[in-house]
């Protein structure tokens, strides 16, 4: 029998239900089974957490729940009235078992109470910021952030009566000096693109606590395998699931993880923005995450070996990689990443942009593409991709020098990758 709705509007208005009631007791989040595997390692979590083995058929692995809506019942109506619509199967934009499954796996890997998956990384970023910020709010962020995020902060926040100040990603004093009375959020990328500067996360968290600010970190380049941001005191962590989390260059997605109370604030924004992840994409992501830890170990080890090779090559000017002792923040990398580092390398080749183009044309294994985190090595030139909107002078000002190449190192045999770079470099410099 349907519940009565005569008082629901009053309850919404006074905040006794729905997501502005931050005092409401919450469970950890929607799940299909109560197994979070907290005590296990990342490989075990990657395989087992969130997986839903169908009890009726005995099918091993989470099915694809490719449906838009579900049968309603008393539990559904009660959940809607009490502001718990996220916890019941009502409509796929609200939640779907395929979403719940992959969200549980993400939460397990992030050591988070709750997570949401989105149709893209930008959907995750924009929904999160719009949910956490209020009209009149101010954000402090980095000049070295993803172009889509920069455009959202610079161009769109003003339309909502909000503002942003861009600072150095590494200078805590510069960041603190940018804080205003109306600052609400510190938003940074853990590892910057393309020069791989490390944001001092622990100092940033301390700064957030000092000024009562939310700290939101985009951890796409490092992933929860290399560092678990929530364990360091970060309030919310976002990822482009398109990259390492999925790792196969075959879907677009995003995630946000944190406390259930904060994630509950973001969920209604997801509903309004319409950025929910399709069930089939959820299936692909949950499948891909089963090999996440395996892939990340190979990405990290391959990148370190290739970075070492490039640093010692006479035709390479500079290599930017936190695992190298030559990196300006190597000690911070050791402290933060515990030797795990990253799967991305940037380097400058002698001869400038012309030789960089020639290198890309002579490599056989890395694919020339703008993304990263795939099992295949992906290579691009930042000056005409991620930083293409900047003038040459602006590029120089932030360290984008002639001949800069960004390489996302895949899981190919490292001997083959080094051999490929050797032949390509020898070929373009033979004359």
Catalytic residues: 93, 146, 218, 243
Give the up-direction half-sphere exposure of residue 370: CA atoms within 13 A in the CB hemisphere: 9
Got the DSSP string for 314-378? TTEEEEE-TTSTTSTTHHHHHHHHTT---SEEEEEETTHHHHHHHHHHH-SSSEE-S----SS-E
One DSSP character per residue, 251-270 reads ---EEEEE-HHHHHHHHHHH
Q: Pull the structure tokens for residue 201.
A: 């996360």
The conformation of residue 249, written as its DSSP 8-state character, comes to S
Q: Two tokens at 210?
A: 């000092």
> What is d(CA 129, CA 345) in angstroms, rounded to the nearest whole number?
29
Map residue 143 onto helix, strand or coil. Answer: coil
Length of the chain: 431
Phi and psi of 168, rounded to 5°? -65, 145
Q: Is the dihedral of CA 50, 69, 16, 162 positive or negative?
A: positive
DSSP 296: H
Q: Is the dihedral of CA 153, 155, 159, 164 positive or negative?
A: positive
How far is 160 from 156, CA to CA, in rounded Å? 7
Exposure letters 310-346 (e unless 16+ CB within 10 A, then b): bbebeebbbbbbbbbeebebbebbeebbeebbbbbbb
Say if CB 269 and CB 135 are below 8 A apart. no
């Amino acid at each position: 029998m349907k519940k009565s709705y005569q008082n629901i509007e009053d309850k919404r208005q006074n905040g006794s239900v729905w997501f502005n009631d931050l005092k409401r007791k919450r469970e950890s989040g929607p799940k299909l089974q109560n197994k979070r595997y907290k005590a296990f390692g990342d490989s075990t979590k990657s395989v087992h957490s969130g997986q839903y083995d169908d009890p009726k058929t005995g099918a091993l692995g989470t099915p694809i729940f490719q449906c838009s809506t579900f049968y309603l019942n008393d539990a559904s109506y009660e959940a809607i009235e009490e502001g718990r619509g996220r916890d019941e199967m009502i409509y796929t934009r609200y939640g779907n078992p395929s979403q719940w499954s992959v969200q549980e796996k993400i939460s397990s890997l992030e050591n988070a109470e709750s997570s949401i998956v989105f149709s893209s990384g930008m959907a995750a970023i924009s929904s999160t910021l719009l949910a956490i910020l209020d009209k009149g709010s101010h954000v402090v962020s980095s000049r070295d952030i993803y172009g889509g995020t920069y455009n959202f902060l610079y161009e769109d926040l003003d339309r909502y009566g909000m503002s942003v100040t861009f600072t150095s990603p590494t200078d805590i004093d510069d960041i603190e000096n940018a804080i205003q009375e109306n600052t609400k959020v510190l938003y940074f990328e853990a590892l910057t693109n393309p020069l791989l500067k490390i944001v001092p996360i622990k100092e940033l968290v301390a700064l957030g606590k000092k000024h009562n600010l939310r700290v939101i970190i985009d951890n796409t380049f490092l992933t929860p395998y290399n560092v678990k941001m929530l364990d360091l005191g970060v309030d919310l962590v976002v990822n482009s699931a398109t990259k390492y989390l999925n790792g196969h260059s075959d879907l677009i997605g995003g995630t946000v993880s944190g406390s259930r109370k904060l994630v509950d604030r973001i969920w209604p924004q997801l509903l309004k923005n319409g950025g929910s992840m399709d069930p089939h994409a959820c299936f692909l992501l949950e499948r891909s995450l089963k090999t996440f830890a395996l892939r990340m170990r190979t990405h990290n080890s391959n990148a370190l070996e290739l970075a070492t090779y490039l640093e010692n090559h006479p035709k390479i000017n500079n290599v930017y990689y936190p695992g190298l002792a030559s990196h300006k923040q190597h000690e911070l990398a050791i402290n933060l990443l515990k030797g795990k580092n990253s799967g991305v390398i940037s380097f400058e080749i002698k001869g400038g942009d012309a030789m960089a183009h020639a290198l890309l044309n002579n490599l056989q294994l890395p694919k020339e593409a703008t993304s990263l985190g795939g099992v295949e090595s992906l290579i691009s030139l930042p000056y005409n991709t991620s930083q293409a909107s900047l003038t040459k002078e602006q590029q120089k000002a932030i360290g984008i020098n002639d001949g800069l190449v960004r390489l996302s190192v895949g899981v190919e045999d490292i001997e083959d990758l080094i051999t490929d770079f050797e032949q390509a470099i020898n070929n373009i410099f033979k004359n």
